[in-house]
Structure 1
């Protein structure tokens, strides 16, 4: 059975699975669904049409599923969907989506989200991401799997951050960040390939070598983006399947980029 503190206010319409723990003075709304093994800390508010998966730990004083901070939002019922095994620390604020996109703000699984992180409406965060303290993501931001966003970083609306990218401390991110890259500074600049992150995830020397070639073509050879894309496409020839997949991930990201690349 769920373990709900006597002072918590849980709407009888909320769907609470077995093994859920809800701490003192938490407030759970009628459209909320919480998966088995998830822990909700004291004084946390979970409201709106919010679905939370299994084995998450949401710490005290978080605001999960509040209406979007969008002046055009007319009170439509939109959603927040959170996956499994996420750690969400104190004072985080996650808003529901708007119908400017699909009406859903979405957080994947196995993410480490530190205190005071804000996810605005229609944000999409993948799996295995790290968002450090006070990272602030504006509306419609998309974050790929395994990305790391440094503390006190602000991300402009509609920006896309590629998989395995790393953004340094206090970044001002107003353009898209390519996969596999480390960016830092003010103005933001691509510094290098995120070698530490890739090695921790078991990337082989061959895969890292191809990623380094893509870095050189995009950011060091003085090519136009079109020229870089053509030469990156050519890297797929006679490569192993995982290396081809790495190149294709980059090509797909570049094809979808709309705000220009941080270079």
Structure 2
């Protein structure tokens, strides 16, 4: 996969098919692979959060999640053919795991949401081997959860915790997890469980998923997106005109 650097952030230019194939090969080889996706908010936060930046840069696969990043990269002259959305990759990897009999572990969200996610995942992939699951509220005893994951025998671990907690947790414990592949999936469990609706396809393609989130949760989301989107545009413009 081709790696580029965009706003001080390394990222891989790859299609969904290429990403899944690469992950499957690494699991077959029993070579640990840490995966992350980057979006506008994460790129903005990485500018001043050195721990988050280090955790992201430690990953061997860094996919582009979010059309804002795709459009921004193209604005700076970088060739990015498509994005690999985290929620879509999650579904593809579950299907691959069911086909290959790779056991998976789901970590994060509330107990209700992660339990529902397990139910939906099994309904969509009847042959899926879910080695275990746990909610995301375990910070008083991280070691116990790490042990639970390691003893489950899972090959793939999906971590549905907000940034930068999930990136830092994965980076901190990667050698003790006992899995071959780990991926931070953010709010994916909320979408799979039906707690949060995903934006329509036309809004996804137009880079307006952030607006859909604001419409769904205006009090919680409007300030976050106003700040991060404004900073992202400013970073793009500074970089663009510095090159001219």
Compare relative contact order (CA 8 Å, sep 6+) and give the higher one, 1 or 2.
Answer: 2
Q: Answer 1 or 2: which has greater strand percent.
A: 1
TM-score (norm 2): 0.27
Q: Answer 1 or 2: which has greater helix percent.
A: 2
Rg larger in structure: 1
TM-score (norm 1): 0.26
